[in-house]
Amino acid sequence: MSLEDIEKKLYARGSKSEPPSASKPKISQPPEQKIEEKWFGENEPPKIIHSHKKRRGFLFLMVIFFVVVIAIGIYLISQYLNAPTVKMDISAPSEIFVGVPFNASIIVNNTSNHVLHQASLTIDLPDGLVYITSAEENKNVINENIGDIETSDLIKKTYSLLALSDESKIKNVKIRLSYQAGLGTSFEQEETKDIAIKKSAVSLKLDVPDQVVGGSVFNIEVNYKNDSNFNFSNLDLEMTYPSSFQFISADPDPTSFNNLWRLQEAKAGISGKIQIKGSINEAFQKGFDFQAALKTNINKKSYVVNQQKATGQLAPAPISLFILINNSPDYVAKLGDKIQYTIQYQNNSGVALADNIIKARLIGELFDIFTLQTNSSINSLTNTLTWNTANTPELRLLNPGAGGNVNFSIQLKPNFPIRRLNDKNFHLKIEAQMDSPTVPYYLSAPKTSALTNLETKIQGLTTIEAKAYFRDANSGILNSGPFPPKVNQATEYTIHWTIKNYSTDVSNVKVSAFLKSGVVFTGAVKSNISSQPTYNNLTQEVIWNIDKIVATKGIISEPIEAIFQIQATPNVTQVKYFQPLLGQTKIEVQDNYTGVTLENAALPVNTQLPYDLTVKPEEGAVQF
């Protein structure tokens, strides 16, 4: 029986009425519940039907999404599984020497049925390995476009490499092949190769004394040997000395300067030695470093095969020497100075030093030898002064710890000897040396010596001239008014400022002067450089600022000049006198060589006009 028939039967039973019974009380029936019609009514569909439809739609979309994802995954996996078969190999020595070039060959074999499109090869070299055929310096990444690789094609690329450092290290060379195949899918394939760097092809040993006495001569020895099977055709040895090292000689002689030896052919197994003789002259230097570097030239580029450093210490000098100029080691001299030099000495050897000799050599164009005052003997050919027992008895025997000084004075010349554009930055130099035939037991030297020197900079010179003109056609500025000047009548003049700079470059140049009473600035101004004078109405000051002026400007080349016009109206108190036009012209500059501030000045200007050749000597006096 169906649910519908059961419902009808139930409803049918409930609709029949039974007669009341006498023995039973009548019980009223509750009203029928209409809620049953909501659950069982035929005309109204259950609301839960709408929720089922939404869920079914969502589940349908999810199924479609997962199907698409699975399809894409299957496609990508199939592409991966169907990637072209490509074989790559790196052919290179498993062990190499530092400084010996070697070839690394990359072999690519397309064993698949696909053409490899837009193939490119990348080689990553670790630190210490470089690509030597590149125009770039120390290149360690190589990129090369190969193009298309057909089926069964075999590509071989060879690169020249060089190890520069990291002895006894394993270096990993990585290659990467990128290409497209199939429907444009991109692929990458990597391979690596381990290369062991044994040691430098050419061993190098640098020997310097552990301790050196300042001023004493000592030897440096450099030994080298080609331990590889490679024949070097252009090997160089380059030495780097401390700044205070004085080169004396070498065996064999240097090829160029005093620190470069071209070893020419250094064949396998060959060895050699270089001996260098010199001294350290820096009295206050505690330690010093020497460096030797073996270099090879490949494709016009220099590579270091091996380098060694050796460090030494400066032992306390048996004799100390110290030079003062005008009681200072940092004095800045100027033209015409009178210079007092003092050479101080002291015996630090621990033993008495006999028959001491002190020499001082004067180096510099500005020393005026004719003004030299000293008790020493003089060699005028070498400008060398010598103090010994004959002229300085104190030098006969110098006990341990004892000291003293010798002196001389000299005048500097009044002018710079400038003849060329590069005659600049003049200085004075004194080279002093003290020797004794007595040698302390702890020194291996023919004599006990001490050396020192002192360089003194000479400050530059910048001058300014101030000239006034009434008739000044060459300036291009026309002056008007009465001349000789007349009371209460305005007359115009042109002022010329001319700057000359001698031996040093200068900067922050400032030229200034005040206009006198009754004088005004007309505004007419010219200059032969980019900057021009300006006028301050409040202070009546004319100012000219210049960034910089090079040395010898105005001496070898044309001077710097500015021209400006003024208008002067004399008053009655100035009759029969020259009217003042411009006060003292001052110039202030920064000397770039010595760092000092230089100052100079030009005399005040009036209507006398001594530089205007059209004006008679007394014509510039004021008249009624």
- b/e for 563-598, b at 16 or more Cβ within 10 A? bbbbbbbbeeebeeebbbbbbebebbbbbbbbeeeb
What CATH class has 86-200?
mainly beta
Q: What is the CATH number of domain 319-457?
A: 2.60.40.10
Asked if the domains 319-457 and 462-606 are classified in one and the same CATH topology, the answer is: yes
Going by the DSSP 8-state scheme, the letter that residue 552 receives in this structure is: T
Torsion of CA 541, 545, 551, 556, to 10 degrees: -70
Whether residue 484 is preceded by a cis peptide bond, meaning omega within 30 degrees of 0, is yes
pLDDT of residue 484: 95
Mean pLDDT throughout 262-286? 81
Percent of the chain with pLDDT over 90: 55
Q: Classify each residue of 403-425 as buried b or exposed e, where b means 16 or more C-beta atoms within 10 Å of its C-beta.
A: eeebebebbbbeebebeeeebbe
| Edge-to-edge order in the sheet of strand 245-251 | 202-207, 217-226, 271-280, 245-251
CB burial of 306-326 (b: ≥16 within 10 Å; e: otherwise) equals bbbebebebeebbbbbbbbbe
Those residues with Cβ within 8 angstroms of residue 248's Cβ, 6 or more apart along the chain or in another chain: 217, 277, 278, 279
Place of tokens 């394939």: 189
Hey, what are 481's tokens? 């008014």
Instruction: Give the pLDDT confidence of 395-437 residue by residue, as tens digits.
Output: 999 999 999 999 999 999 999 999 999 999 999 999 999 999 9
Q: Which residues are CB-contacts of 446 (< 8 A; sequence separation ≥ 6)?
A: 439
Q: What is the pLDDT of residue 22?
A: 35
pLDDT digits (tens, 9 = 90+) for 66-100: 777 776 665 555 544 455 678 888 888 888 898 88
User: What are the structural domain ranges in the chain?
Assistant: 32-82, 86-200, 210-315, 319-457, 462-606
Strand partners, 549: 506
The answer as to CATH 3.40.140.10 being correct for domain 462-606 is no
pLDDT above 70 covers a percentage of the chain that reads 86
92-126 pLDDT tens trace: 888 889 888 888 899 999 888 888 888 899 988 88
Query: How far apart, in whole angstroms, are the C-alpha atoms of residue 548 and residue 35?
Result: 108
| The predicted structure's pLDDT at residue 63 | 74
The CATH H-level superfamily of 210-315 is Immunoglobulins (2.60.40.10)
Report the sign of the C-alpha dihedral through residues 260, 264, 268, 270, in that order.
Answer: negative
Q: What is the DSSP string of 562-584?
A: EEEEEEE---GGGBTSBPEEE--
Residues ≥6 apart with Cβ < 8 Å to 298: 101, 132, 162
Q: Which residues pair with 129 in a beta bridge?
A: 163
Token pair belonging to 163? 């190890």
pLDDT surpasses 70 at 31: no
Q: What gap in Å lies between CA 395 and CA 393, rounded to an integer?
A: 5
Q: How many CB atoms lie within 10 A of CB 163?
A: 27
Give me the phi and psi of 9, to 5 degrees please.
Answer: -65, -40
pLDDT of residue 137: 63
CA 249 to chain centroid, in Å, comes to: 33
User: What integer best gives the mean pLDDT of the chain?
Assistant: 86
Q: Which of 169, 285, 274, 288 is nearest to 220 (CA)?
A: 274
Average pLDDT in the 360-366 region? 97
pLDDT tens, position by position, 151-187: 888 889 898 888 887 666 888 889 899 988 877 788 8
User: Token pair for residue 614?
Assistant: 């059209």
Per residue in 6-20, pLDDT tens? 445 544 444 444 443
Provide CB contacts within 8 A for 387, sequence distance 6+. 357, 358, 359, 375, 376, 395, 406
pLDDT of 49 higher than 60: no
pLDDT (tens digit per residue) in 216-242: 778 999 999 999 988 888 889 999 999
User: Residue 380 has which token pair?
Assistant: 């005028």
Structure tokens at 324: 């003062």
Instruction: Name the residue with higher pLDDT: 50 or 535.
Output: 535
Query: Residue 505: which of 562, 459, 560 has the closest Cα?
Result: 459
Would you say 269 and 230 are in contact if contact means Cβ atoms under 8 Å apart?
Answer: no
Cβ 189 vs Cβ 88: under 8 Å: yes
- Which residue has better confidence, 194 or 445? 194
pLDDT in tens, 541-588: 999 999 999 999 999 999 999 999 999 999 999 999 999 999 999 999
Q: Is the pLDDT of residue 44 over 70?
A: no
